[in-house]
Amino acid sequence: MNIKRFLAIAICMGMGYGIIGCMSAEVPIQAENVSVILAPGHTLPAAIASATARRGWLPQKQEDGTIRCTFQKRDSLVVVDVVPNSEQSFSVRLVQSNVSVRKYNQWVNNLVHDIIFFASH
């Protein structure tokens, strides 16, 4: 094997491992203990309700106070639990998803930002 061919193969393998490494580094968002600053007269449950309505999520309150939020768009499905930890703190935990990690993270990140927005405005 000549040196040029060896270097070409080594470079291609390195690039392949780099791409695979970057793809596997993405993990689903598990937002823990997200703090919000409540505007006067606002509550965290109301902010969650407003955020889910704005983004098209279907919220369902569970017996333990958790809010199970489902987002479905064509064949895409994401289900998360929004867990109020206190009056000014919540967590978002993945329950089920059939979309790419990138799309899941985008949708959940938007939901988290909207909850924070509606809590403070």
Average pLDDT, rounded, for the chain: 85
Contact between 30 and 92 (Cβ < 8 Å) = yes
Question: Residue 109: inside a domain, yes or no?
Answer: yes
The 10 Å CB-count burial string (b at 16+, else e) for 63-76 is eeebbebbbeeeee
Domain of residue 69 covers 29-120
- Domain CATH number, residue 59: 3.30.310.80
Question: Residue 48: inside a domain, yes or no?
Answer: yes
Is the pTM of the predicted complex or chain greater than 0.85?
no
d(Cα 83, Cα 41) in Å, to the nearest integer? 21
Question: Residue 64: inside a domain, yes or no?
Answer: yes
Question: Residue 105: inside a domain, yes or no?
Answer: yes
Question: Residue 59: inside a domain, yes or no?
Answer: yes
Q: How far is CA 75 from CA 5, 26, 78, 99, 115, in A?
A: 45, 22, 10, 9, 25
Domains held by the chain: number: 1
Burial of 105 from C-beta contacts in 10 A (0-12 / 13-18 / 19+): middle
**How do residues 81-120 score in pLDDT, each as one tens digit?**
999 999 999 999 999 999 999 999 999 999 999 999 999 9
Question: Residue 20: inside a domain, yes or no?
Answer: no
